[in-house]
């Protein structure tokens, strides 16, 4: 291999350049670079091994959950007449031997999705030695991080939509139930909330990838935070509530615990899911038996459900935005050379 025809080609370039030098954009179109980055990342993700592993895990889990749920619904079919939003029960109920309904399962796996598509966002560029080359191109630094974030979220969105359609398809086939427009509306809103929730974890993983030079370390940090919150979160919030609330008032302690636990995006997402996928759920707060007994039984519309969990959704968006902003600021100030 050699540099062939150096001089002659050099002269050819000279001719080409005289004609094309002026076509170079004098001002680079803003908002172009992040799309280029996002497109490349999106294509990379779709071809990556991790994508297929996740599709496989989610597919198997979803199939198991939906068969269990539909089996459970069929078993009680005679008494299920008149149950509101029966179709959505595919997502929210389970039966032996599957331990979780699909919604819980997705709530559990969503952090993994976000972490998988974010943990090597910047550290990967560093370890491959592509970061200096990338940043020497005419794009702003923030476009790199934004493009990667959008691409990861797009892939996750694609997966979740495919999964929901897959589950709905099996449900229609097994139960013969056609979802009503209201149910479809609830599913769509829930999907959007699920993507926001994944976005939180992706922002967290991106932040880790900015601060830690090694991709493996960054993945471990993000997974560690996820495990602590999901395994010990309840315990931590309970202990904190007991410290804060008056010792003799159990209701106060419980209320404090609920409020505190809403710091955690896990709580925010599970509350949002419950409300959005079940029109008979009316509140995420503590209710007394008295209140339940006196309530007039009626279903909430999608808008009413959305109104109840709006703070939760805004909370998730805010947490995501804060993490992303921190990652962004740190990346902007960072040295190119590690």
Partner 1 sequence: MANPTVVASRLTKQYGEATVVNALDLRLHAGEVFGLLGPNGAGKTTTILMLLGLVEPTSGTVEVLGLDPARNPLEVKGRVGYLPDAVGFYDSLTGRENLRFTARLNQLSRDEAEERIAELLEEVGLPEAADRPTGTYSRGMLQRLGIADALVKRPRVLILDEPTTSIDPEGVAEMLALIRSLAEDRGVTVLLSSHLLHQVQAVCDRVAIFVEGTVVAQGAPHELASKNRGPEQVEVQTKADQERLRAALAGKPFVEAIQASRVPNVYLVRVTRGSTNQLISALVQAGLELSGVRRSSDDLDEVYRRYFHREEVAVG
The reply to whether 152 sits near partner 1 by the rule CB under 8 A is no
When asked if residue 130 is in the footprint of partner 1 (CB under 8 A), the reply is yes
CB proximity list for 190: less than 8 A, separation 6 or greater: 272, 273, 276, 277
| Interface with partner 1 (CB under 8 A), residue from 140, 174, 255, 262 | 140
* Site for partner 1 contains 294 (CB under 8 A): no
Contact (Cβ atoms closer than 8 angstroms) between residue 189 and residue 91: no
Of 62, 315, 318, nearest to 166 by C-alpha is 62
Task: Tell me whether residue 1 or residue 81 sits nearer to partner 1 (CB atom).
Answer: 1
Binding to partner 1 by residue 44, rule CB under 8 A? yes
Contacts with partner 1 by CB under 8 A: the residue count is 45
Among 31, 36, 60, 213, binds partner 1 (CB under 8 A): 36
CB neighbour burial string for 172-199, b if at least 16 within 10 angstroms, e if fewer: eebbebebeebbebbbebbbebbbbbbb
Contact 209, 121 (CB under 8 A): yes
- Which segment (6-14, 85-93, 266-274, 318-326) binds partner 1 by CB under 8 A? 6-14
Q: Does 19 bind partner 1 (CB under 8 A)?
A: no
Buried b (16+ CB within 10 A) or exposed e, 153-171: bbbbbbbbeebbeebbebb
Q: Is 22 in the site for partner 1 (CB under 8 A)?
A: no
13: contact with partner 1 by CB under 8 A: yes
Residue 50 interacting with partner 1 (CB under 8 A):
no
Measured from the CB of residue 152, what is the shortest distance to partner 1 in angstroms?
16
| Residue 151, helix vs strand vs coil | helix
Q: Applying CB under 8 A, which of residues 22, 25, 82, 176 lies at the interface with partner 1? A: 25
Would you count residue 242 as binding partner 1 (CB under 8 A)?
no
Q: Is 46 in the site for partner 1 (CB under 8 A)?
A: no
Report CA 164 to chain centroid distance, whole Å. 14
What is the token pair recorded at 205?
A: 């993983």
Peptide bond into 310 cis (omega under 30): no
Q: How far is the CB of 27 from partner 1 (least distance, A)?
A: 7
Q: How far is the CB of 139 from partner 1 (least distance, A)?
A: 6
Residues engaged in binding partner 1 (CB under 8 A): 1-7, 9-11, 13-14, 17, 20-21, 24-29, 32-33, 36-37, 39-40, 44, 47-48, 128-130, 132-140, 335-337
């Amino acid at each position: 291999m050699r540099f062939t025809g150096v001089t002659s080609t050099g002269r050819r370039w000279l001719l080409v350049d005289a004609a094309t030098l002026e076509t170079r954009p004098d001002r680079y179109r803003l908002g172009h670079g992040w799309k280029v980055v996002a497109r490349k990342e999106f294509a990379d993700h779709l071809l990556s091994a991790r994508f297929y592993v996740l599709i496989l895990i989610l597919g198997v889990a979803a199939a198991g959950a939906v068969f269990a749920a539909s089996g459970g619904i069929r078993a009680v079919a005679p008494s299920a007449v008149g149950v509101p939003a029966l179709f959505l029960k595919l997502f929210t109920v389970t039966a032996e031997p599957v331990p979780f309904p699909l919604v819980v399962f997705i709530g559990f796996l969503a952090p993994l999705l976000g972490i998988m598509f974010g943990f090597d966002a910047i550290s990967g560029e560093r370890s491959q030695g592509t970061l200096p080359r990338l940043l020497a191109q005419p794009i702003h630094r923030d476009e790199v991080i934004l493009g990667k974030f959008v691409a990861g979220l797009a892939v996750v969105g694609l997966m979740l939509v495919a999964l929901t359609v897959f589950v709905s398809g099996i449900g229609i086939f097994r139960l013969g139930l056609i979802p009503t427009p209201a149910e479809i509306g609830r599913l769509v809103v829930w999907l959007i909330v699920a993507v926001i929730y994944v976005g939180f974890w992706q922002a967290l993983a991106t932040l880790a990838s900015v601060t830690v030079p090694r991709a493996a370390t960054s993945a471990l940090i993000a997974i560690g935070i996820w495990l602590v919150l999901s395994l010990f979160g309840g315990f931590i919030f309970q202990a904190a509530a007991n410290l804060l609330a008056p010792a003799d008032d159990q209701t106060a302690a419980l209320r404090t615990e609920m409020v505190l636990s809403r710091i955690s995006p896990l709580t925010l997402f599970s509350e949002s899911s419950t409300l959005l996928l079940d029109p008979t759920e009316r509140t995420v707060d503590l209710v007394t038996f008295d209140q339940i007994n006196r309530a007039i039984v009626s279903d909430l519309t999608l808008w009413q459900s959305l109104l109840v969990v709006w703070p939760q959704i805004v909370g998730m968006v805010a947490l995501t935005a804060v993490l992303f902003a921190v990652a962004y600021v740190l990346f902007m100030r960072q040295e190119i050379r590690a």
